[in-house]
Amino acid sequence: PASNSCGPRPPLVSLPCKQPRMAIAAAWRPIGRPLPGELGDFAETVGEVLETEALVLEASVLPVDTRPSPTELRALRGKVRKLTEDAQLRRELALQCVETMGSAATELPPVTLAAFIDAATVKQLCSPGCLKDDLSLGRDAGSLRRGWTLFGGLALSAVAPLAEPLAGVQQRDAVLRLLRNIGRVVDATWLAFSIPALDALAHHMMQLDAFLHRRRIAEKEHREVARWKAQEQLEVSAQRERARLRAKGFDTGKELRPAHLERRVHWSEYRDAERARRTLQRRAAHDQQCQRRRRAASCAT
Round to whole Å and give the CA distance between 39 and 71. 34
pLDDT at residue 10, as a whole number:
36
- By C-alpha distance, which of 74, 2, 9 is closest to 31? 2
User: What's the confidence (pLDDT) of residue 16?
Assistant: 34
In the predicted structure, residue 5 carries a pLDDT above the cut 50: no
Share of the chain above pLDDT 90, in %: 8
More confident residue, 42 or 23: 42
The DSSP code sequence of the chain is -TT-SS-PPPGGGG--SHHHHHHHTT-EEEESS---HHHHHHHHHHHHHHHHHHHHHHHHHS-GGGSPPHHHHHHHHHHHHHHHHHHHHHHHHHHHHHHHHGGGGGGSPPEEEEEEEEHHHHHHHTSTTTB-TTSBBSS-BTTB-TT-EEESSGGGTTT-SSSSB--THHHHHHHHHHHHHHHHH-SEEEEEEEE-HHHHHHHHHHHHHHHHHHHHHHHHHHHHHHHHHHHHHHHHHHHHHHHHHHHTT--TTSPPPPTTT--SS-GGGHHHHHHHHHHHHHHHHHHHHHHHHHHHHHHH-
The confidence band for 85, taking pLDDT boundaries of 50, 70 and 90, is very high
Region 1-9: mean pLDDT is 36
**Confidence class of residue 3 from pLDDT cuts 50, 70 and 90?**
very low
Mean pLDDT of all residues belonging to the chain:
79
Q: Above 50 in pLDDT, residue 289?
A: yes
What are the Cα distances from residue 122, in Å, to 31, 129, 229?
20, 14, 44
User: Taking a C-beta distance cutoff of 8 angstroms, is the pair 84, 212 a contact?
Assistant: yes
pLDDT of residue 18: 38
pTM, 2 dp: 0.66
Residue 29 bridge partners (DSSP): 114
The least confident of 32-41, 61-70, 72-81, 261-270 is 261-270
Report the distance separating Cα 4 and Cα 29, nearest Å. 14
The confidence band for 71, taking pLDDT boundaries of 50, 70 and 90, is confident
Model confidence band, residue 7 (pLDDT cutoffs 50, 70, 90): very low
Condensed to tens digits (0 to 9), the pLDDT of residues 131-174 reads 888 888 888 888 888 888 888 888 888 777 777 777 766 777 88
Q: Is pLDDT of 13 > 60?
A: no
pLDDT value at position 53? 86
